[in-house]
Structure 1
Amino acid sequence: MPMVITNPLLPDNPIVFVNRAFISLTGFERSEVIGRNCRFLQGPRTDKSQVARMREAITSRVPIELDLLNYRKNGTHFWNRLLVSPVFADDGNLLYYFASQFDVTLERERLAALQRDRDDLEAEVVRRTAELRAAEQRLQFALEAGRLGSWSINLGTQELTASDECKKICGRLPADSLTLEELRDSIHPDDRIVQIEAIEHAITNRSLLDVEYRIRTPKGEERWVQIRGQATYRADGAPLTILGTTQDVTNRREAEEHRTLLANELSHRVKNTLASLQAIVAQTMRRAPSVAAAGVTLEARIQAMAAANDLLISQKFEGATMRALLERTLSPFGVEDKDRFTLTGPDVKLPARLVVAFALAIHELATNATKYGALSNADGMIGLSWEVVHDPHPQSLQLHWVESGGPRVIPPSRTSFGTQLIQRMLPREIDGSVEVDYPAEGLVFKAIAPLIDTAENDNNTEFATNDKRI
Structure 2
Amino acid sequence: MSTRVEKQTRFPAEFPDAASPQGLVDGKELAFVAFKRTRMPMVVTDPEQPDNPIVLANQSFLDLTGYSPEEVVGRNCRFLQGPATNADAVRTIREALAAERELTVELLNYRKDGSTFWNELFISPVHDDDGRLLYLFGSCKDVTQRKEANHLKAEEHRLLKEVDHRAKNALALVQGIVRLTSAEDPRTYAESVQGRVEALARAHSILAAGNWREVPLQRVITSGAEPFGRSRISLDGPDVALAAEQVQPLMLVLHEMFSNALKHGALSAESGSVSVRWQTHDDGRLVVDWQEVGGPAPAPDPVPSFGSMLIETTIKRQLDGRAGFVWQHTGLEGRLEFPLGS
TM-score interval, smaller chain: 0.5 to 0.7
Mapping of 1:219-298 within 5 angstroms?
A: 227-229=120-122, 243-245=138-140, 260-284=157-181, 287-298=182-193
> What secondary structure is seen at the aligned counterpart in 2 of 1:414?
coil
Q: Which amino acid aligns with 1:333?
A: F
Bigger relative contact order, structure 1 or 2, given CA contacts below 8 A and separation 6+?
2
Q: Which has the larger radius of gyration?
A: 1
- Alpha-carbon deviation of 1:443? 0.8
Of residues 417-426 and 238-247 in structure 1, the stretch that sits farther from structure 2 once superposed is 238-247
1:181 and 2:95 correspond: yes
Looking at structure 2, the residues matched to 267 and 362 of structure 1 have their Cα atoms a distance apart, in angstroms, of 25
TM-score (norm: length of structure 1): 0.49
Q: 1:136 to 1:247 in 2, by over 3 A?
A: closer
Looking at structure 1, the residues matched to 325 and 139 of structure 2 have their Cα atoms a distance apart, in angstroms, of 67
Q: Which amino acid aligns with 2:77?
A: A
2:173 and 2:249 in contact (8 A); partners too: no
Q: 1:351 aligns with which of 243, 261, 266?
A: 243
- Alpha-carbon deviation of 1:162? 3.2
- Alpha-carbon deviation of 1:263? 3.0
2:180 and 2:310 in contact (8 A); partners too: no
Q: 1:178 to 1:428 in 2, by over 3 A?
A: closer
Q: 2:213 aligns with which of 311, 318, 326?
A: 318
Looking at structure 2, the residues matched to 386 and 248 of structure 1 have their Cα atoms a distance apart, in angstroms, of 52
Looking at structure 1, the residues matched to 97 and 255 of structure 2 have their Cα atoms a distance apart, in angstroms, of 59
> What secondary structure is seen at the aligned counterpart in 1 of 2:331?
coil
Unaligned runs of 5+ in 2: 1-11, 18-35, 38-56, 109-117
Looking at structure 2, the residues matched to 366 and 247 of structure 1 have their Cα atoms a distance apart, in angstroms, of 59
Alignment match, 2:81 = 166
Q: 1:370 aligns with which of 238, 248, 262?
A: 262
- Of all paired residues, the percent bearing the same amino acid is 25
Alignment coverage as a number of residue pairs: 271
C-alpha RMSD of matched pairs (Å):
4.5
- Alpha-carbon deviation of 1:427? 2.0
Looking at structure 2, the residues matched to 266 and 254 of structure 1 have their Cα atoms a distance apart, in angstroms, of 18
Looking at structure 2, the residues matched to 184 and 376 of structure 1 have their Cα atoms a distance apart, in angstroms, of 82
1:162 and 1:178 in contact (8 A); partners too: no
Q: Which amino acid aligns with 1:366?
A: F
Looking at structure 2, the residues matched to 399 and 270 of structure 1 have their Cα atoms a distance apart, in angstroms, of 27
Unaligned runs of 5+ in 1: 1-121, 151-160, 186-195, 201-208, 214-224, 454-470
TM-score (norm: length of structure 2): 0.65
- Alpha-carbon deviation of 1:243? 2.1
- Alpha-carbon deviation of 1:424? 2.6
Looking at structure 2, the residues matched to 298 and 179 of structure 1 have their Cα atoms a distance apart, in angstroms, of 63
- Alpha-carbon deviation of 1:306? 0.6
Alignment match, 1:446 = 335
- Alpha-carbon deviation of 1:227? 3.3
- Alpha-carbon deviation of 1:319? 2.5
- Alpha-carbon deviation of 1:327? 1.5
- Alpha-carbon deviation of 1:139? 3.2
Alignment match, 2:321 = 432
Q: 1:409 aligns with which of 285, 289, 298?
A: 298
